[in-house]
Amino acid sequence: MKFNNHRNLEGKHAIFSASQPAWLRYDDEKLVTVFNNLKAKEQGTKLHAWAKDTIDLGIKQPKGKKTLYQYVNDAIGFGMSTEVVLYYSDRFYGTADAICFRNNMLRIHDLKTGRGPVHLEQLMVYAALFCLEYKMKPESIDIELRIYQNDDILIHNPGGDEIREIMDLIIRFDKILQQQEED
């Protein structure tokens, strides 16, 4: 038998694929919800790419309460770098949306395009990874973390002890996993 050619789909996965058949148990409402969430995620990826390019080019946006514009303008204003990988090991790393360190102040900003609840833990992990990678003592620097979502900005200034706790956990977990790989 000669099979149909679908080269344009090679290496891709269908939204509702055979390899992840949980959708077999969806009702109509769940199907539409999952589909809409995946489309929103795709839109969020495009908005992040646009924001990165806009910040990197230094194109200020109109002032106002719009989340995307506030995020872009603040990142430009603080002279932040975009999409920076923070690395401790192959098991523990992440990419900060926008980050800068100057005058003993670490700033990390994150753009959230979804509607769901947000958690500052992600940004605290970025701060811990930064301190580990660049050998900074979190107790000796100032840290400001910001999440931009739903036309609001959530700001948190964690204490060095909060970041140190995460650093210690990363180090401990990485050692455990390294030992596991060696056994």
Q: What Cα–Cα distance (Å) separates residue 57 from each residue in 51, 66, 68, 72, 113?
A: 10, 20, 15, 11, 21
Give CA angle at 23 (17, 29), nearest 5°.
130
Q: Copy the structure tokens of residue 34.
A: 């999952």
Question: What contacts 24+ positions apart, CB below 8 Å, involve 5-14?
Answer: none
Taking the C-alpha atoms of residue 75 and residue 100, their distance in angstroms, rounded to an integer, is 9
What angle do helix axes 121-133 and 160-182 make, rounded to 10 degrees? 70
How many residues in the chain?
A: 183
Torsion-angle region of residue 44: left (phi > 0), alpha (psi -120 to 50) or beta?
alpha
Low-confidence residues of the chain: pLDDT under 50: none
Q: What per-residue confidence (pLDDT) applies to 41? A: 87
pLDDT tens digits for range 44-58: 999 999 999 999 999
Provide the token pair at 105.
């102040």
Q: What is the pLDDT of residue 70?
A: 96
pLDDT, tens digit, 9 for 90 and up, residues 103-117 = 999 999 999 988 778
